[in-house]
Amino acid sequence: MKAYMVLFDWSTSDDEAVEVELFDTYEKAQTRFNEIIADEKNPELSWVGSEAINENGEINDGFDFEEFGGAGEYDRWWNITDKNDWNRHVFLDLKVMEVK
C-alpha cells in the first residue's frame, strides 16, 4: 500500500513552519503540491512571488531554484532559497511512501 506526503518547509526572517499533509492517492497529493506552488508564486501571498520570481515567471538573481518532477508516481520537489539569507527558503516535496 502507498501513501503520498506533501511536505512544505518554509522559513522567513521572522517565522517558520513545517506542514505535512498525507493523501491516499497520488492525484490528490499532486493537486495539493501544485496549489502550494501557485500560492507561493502569488506576490500577494508569499515573499517568493514578490521577490524571487519576476513577472515572466523566471527566478530573479540572488535566489537558488531547484525543481524535479516527471511523469508517473515519483517523488517531486520545488525549492527556492535566498542566496543572501539561507534561512529564507521554501522547500516543497511530494513523497511516495510504501506503507507496511
Q: Per-residue pLDDT tens for 26-82?
A: 999 999 999 999 999 999 999 999 999 998 989 999 999 999 987 788 999 999 999
- In angstroms, the CA 90 to CA 3 distance is 23
Confidence category of residue 13, pLDDT binned at 50, 70, 90: confident
Sketch the domain layout of the chain as residue ranges.
Answer: 2-35+65-98
Q: Is 71 helix (H, G, I), strand (E, B) or coil?
A: coil
Q: Measured between alpha carbons, how far is residue 47 from residues 53, 55, 57, 62, 71 in Å?
A: 9, 14, 14, 13, 29
pLDDT of residue 73: 87
pLDDT of residue 71: 77
pLDDT of residue 72: 82
Q: Measured between alpha carbons, how far is residue 3 from residues 43, 55, 63, 64, 83 in Å?
A: 32, 36, 32, 30, 34
| pLDDT over 80 (residue 20) | yes
